[in-house]
Amino acid sequence: MLDLALGTQVGAASTLFLVAPDNRRDVVAQQLKRPVFSRVSELGIRYIPYNQLKEHRETIGRFDSSIKPLMEISQRL
């Protein structure tokens, strides 16, 4: 993930979303605080619980390539 985000111009200019099970938000946040992921905080990665993605998938599909609906249902880690 870091190679993609920090190693390319496209990655550096993109918003990255991490999709994981609803009940894993705290575990994901803890893992991202580990030293190996020290630069992750620079990326502004957003977390989307599976349930939110599933619940809003039809609405998201109507927005074509816009990330606006993803931003609305995601959470900053």
Answer whether 0.85 is exceeded by the pTM: no
Q: How far apart are CA 60 and CA 33, in angstroms?
A: 30
**Spatial contact of 17 and 50, defined as CB atoms under 8 Å apart:** no
Work out the pLDDT band at 11, boundaries 50, 70, 90.
Answer: low
Q: How far apart are CA 25 and CA 48, in angstroms?
A: 9
Locus of tokens 């599976």: 50
Q: What is the pLDDT of residues 21-68, one digit of tens each?
A: 989 989 988 888 888 877 777 777 889 999 999 998 888 888 777 888
Q: How far apart are CA 39 and CA 14, in angstroms?
A: 15
**Spatial contact of 11 and 5, defined as CB atoms under 8 Å apart:** yes
| DSSP character at residue 48 | E
